[in-house]
Chains A and B, each alone.
Chain A
Amino acid sequence: MNRELKRVSIVVMLMFVALLTSTTVIQVFQAESLSADSRNTRTLYDSYMVERGAILVAGTPIAQSVPTEDNYKYLRTYSNAALYAPVTGFLPVNGAATGLERALNGELSGTSDSQFFDQMNSLVTGQASKGASVEVTIDPVAQQAAWDALGNLTGSVVVTEPKTGRILAMVSKPSYDPNLLSVHDDQAVTDTYQGLVNDPGNPLINRSIDALNPPGSVFKLVVASAAIESGKFTPDSAFPNLPTFTLPGSSSVVINSGGGTCGSGDTVTIATALRLSCNIPMAELGLQLGATAIREMAEKYGFNTSYSVPLDVAMSVYPTVLDDAQTALSAFGQYEVRATPMQMAMVSATIANGGVQMAPNLVEEIIAPNLSPLESFTPKTVKQVISAATAATMTQMMVNDVADGAASNARIDGVNVAGKTGTAENATNEPYTLWFTGFAPAEDPKYAITVLVEDGGGLGQKGYGNLLAAPIAKQVLEAVLNK
């Protein structure tokens, strides 16, 4: 009997060895992957356990964690919430974060590599670890001015500093209140979120970086840059001044906005075409340049590439395959050309900065809990997109556009404003998309601005860039220049 007993003892031993092994495998070897599982709510709750760092504008918090009594220990609260929602995003308990809450989650929650020693320190000392704070580049004056100027229109305003790439304003309307999405009540968050998703105004979309619209005439800046940079054209290069233009290989007809020819005379120069924002000469120019040359310039400006600021910016598009008719349409920003306000802001800022593109950035400084800076903003050059001479030529043409052309409503007394308006067609009966992009002062650019007004500004196909977008730009530029 004892022989059998011994064998059964071994079986019992093996049973326990199996349990010891399985618990070890789960708690040691699989622990990391299980913690990283998106369904693991424990990891989510833990992310609330540390006092998350604040997001600051000019030293004032626009997002901060305040202690609560519930499961999560801290509640994320936003001040001036709707104004800064495109910047901060929100941090829901039951879904993915957005905005900087998402892009800088590692820093804010204190888990980024640069905070490794802090984590070790808090492990040893037993003090609760804290996340780093993030100071953004946003200028509260510019942000508020842009918010006010946009009024009740659907759209976006982006203001940048051409010499450094700092993003000074990022407004998107309609906006929402991130506070309602960060409450610790799953059902309330879900309900609010669904309500916002179903809202026809799409308030959750950050139009500055996520809205892709046909750029229309503001894209002419890219085409003109390509022409002048090529050396084959000057602002005075002339094209036949036609009242209508039949697209090659097609029966479709292109007209200038407002109909008729582009100014008087049998021929029209690039400078005039840009100043009066005419379509036909640009179509002719586009056909002479060819799609490849336009695409190369567009890509140098940042089209067809993804980048982050560190919010991910949707990729602006210049199509890869175009026939002649499509090339002609693309030359004034139609067909399948799409751009975000951020991308157009980069075009203006590049021209303003002598053709040198600076990487756009939203983060001024990351500040450790002990107030020592972990990372500070340094301007980064992306590349020389166009020569300084081409940039100067482009600037002059844009100044003329505001001073004596189609962008007249952006004029500011005593300041040379460079700019370009756009009125882009969507589908046949859809409202237009209205644009303004430019910078000021032209001789020493401090601010580059892009205004996007979607949905025709409520005027359907009657609104145009100079009517609605240019005055917004003017109002914002005045506010920041008079600071």
Chain B
Amino acid sequence: MSNSRAADAPARAPKSKPGSTRRLHLPQKMRNVELFLLLVACGINAAAVVLVQLGALGHIDTTLVVLGAGLSGLVLCLHIVLRFVARDADPFILPIATLLNGIGIAMIYRIDIANGDAGWDSAAVRQTVWSGLAIACAITVMLVIRNHRVLFRYTYVSGFVAVILLLLPLVPGLGREVSGARVWIGIGSFATFQPGEIAKIALAIFFAGYLVRNRDSLSMVGRKVLWMKFPRLRDLGPILVLWALSMSVIIFQRDLGTALLYFGLFLVMLYIATGRLSWVLLGMTLFIGGAIIASQTLDYVHGRFQNWLDALNPDVYGADGGSYQLVQGLFGLAKGGLLGTGLGQGRPEITPVPQSDYIIASLGEELGLAGLFAILALYLLFVARGFRIGFAGHDDFGKLLGVGLSFVVALQCFIVIGGVTRVIPLTGLTTPFLAAGGSSLVANWIIVALLLRLSDTVRNQPRLVV
């Protein structure tokens, strides 16, 4: 399919037509839609912060409003950059990311108020600064990567970078352990960073490049068992390496969620590239088998399963590392009910870490089921825009990368929100865009930039043919 690009070109925008020169001067329709939606998103974000202040403080305080305005300005900068370097990019991605990010800051701010944190102690202030940094990263990516095919060249470099990033937290003196999981690095006591978040982007690039290069050997040959074609033993290498990597994350970094995220991402991209269900079955068998063994042998995994299955049991609830947090989150959600308590009027601070792992429970408490549905709809729309790139794309690498990046967002949502709402065992991951955490924000905004770049390419195919 990657060779079919040239064939598409004439059908799209016949350059010989006199109108085509005027086309360049036409109002940028996409960007105007985006601008309108962005203004709406910024408006909602500002309203959320004000509502939090009215609800929790009883008066309006200007500090965070000023910071929020700065953030809106930065988002508008990104928008202006898009007008120049990616004028046909998808108009929905940026407003959705802005809205989610802003709602997250409002909720983190709300919890700061409850905890009495202000200034640099305030997680909301730090989150805002991180957001600015993340958006700056996104702008840089937009400016530097003018054509996503460049990334194809760095397939193996990306893979190497991903592994290095994953291993960093295990380096003595650099790694930090936070609530049992060793997924952080820190220099001194100041800056901490979760390199695994960036690694997921590097992995997606690596998978896309690798699979495009090797899909034939992975999909064509194999032995047929029943109705399914199973791969040759020698082609099993990559999946086994990935499996080993995920398992080592579970064992050494004690992080179930990240392992599930990487492996799930790999399986989906592998399936899309090869079209063979046998890979998925094989992979799932491996992972579930590994997880079951881990749940029997590793205490923390076993505990997670028990908390999930029997959360309300007083013994499990009261145990060290038991379901206390999970149940408090459920209490918060129950308190929210259909319509929520209103921003600033619930008690999300009762739940441990209400601003990061449990931000979705905090939002559910104050915005209710209606608010959670809206947030889930935003995520779904975001993912759908990413999948659109996959459907409409013309080159396999771009298709795979677009789908991979958006699927990683979807899967991460599912793992976190599913963990909080007892669909699956709870694992520590951040809710994309919403949760407090700099590394997560930077990673997700880079994903935004890459998706914007890919979507622009999809619409502008002829320009790429050169």
Contact = CB atoms under 8 A, between A and B. Distances in A.
A462 interface: no
A12 B334 contact: no
A34 B387 contact: no
Nearest to A16: B380
A20 B391 contact: no
Contacts of B373: 20, 23
Interface stretch (B62-70, B149-157, B415-423, B451-459): B415-423
Interface residues of A, number: 35
A40 B423 CA distance: 21
Interface string A395-410: 0000000000000000
B417 A1 contact: no
Interface in A428-465: none
B413 A19 contact: yes
Nearest to A46: B335
Contact of B334 (A4, A13, A35): A35
Interface string A8-23: 1101110110111011
A29 to B, nearest CB: 10
Interface residues of B, number: 47
Contacts of B346: 42
Given A3-B275, A9-B387, A12-B383, A27 B369 contact: yes
A23 B413 CA distance: 13
Contacts of B271: 4, 7-8
B331 A19 contact: no
B414 interface: yes
A154 B350 CA distance: 43
Interface in A30-69: 30-32, 34-35, 37, 39-43, 45
A8 B417 contact: no
B403 A26 contact: no
B403 A8 contact: yes
Given A1-B275, A34-B334, A28 B414 contact: no
B462 interface: no
B368 interface: yes
A340 B275 CA distance: 81
B337 interface: yes
A11 B271 CA distance: 12
A41 B312 contact: no
Contacts of B383: 12
- Residue among A19, A22, A24, A32 with the highest chain B CB neighbour number at 10 A: A19
A388 B185 CA distance: 89
Contacts of B272: 1, 4-5, 8
A125 interface: no
B372 interface: yes
B418 A19 contact: yes
A96 B275 CA distance: 61
A16 B418 contact: no
Contacts of A18: 414, 418, 423
A1 B333 contact: no
A27 B376 contact: no
A278 B335 CA distance: 65
16 contacts: A1-B272, A12-B383, A15-B411, A16-B380, A16-B414, A19-B414, A19-B418, A20-B373, A22-B422, A23-B364, A23-B417, A34-B331, A40-B331, A42-B331, A42-B347, A42-B350
Top 10 nearest A-B pairs (CB, nearest first) are: A34-B334, A22-B421, A31-B334, A27-B369, A15-B414, A4-B272, A40-B331, A26-B333, A42-B335, A22-B423
Given A15-B418, A30-B334, 6 more contacts: A1-B1, A19-B413, A19-B423, A31-B333, A41-B350, A71-B347
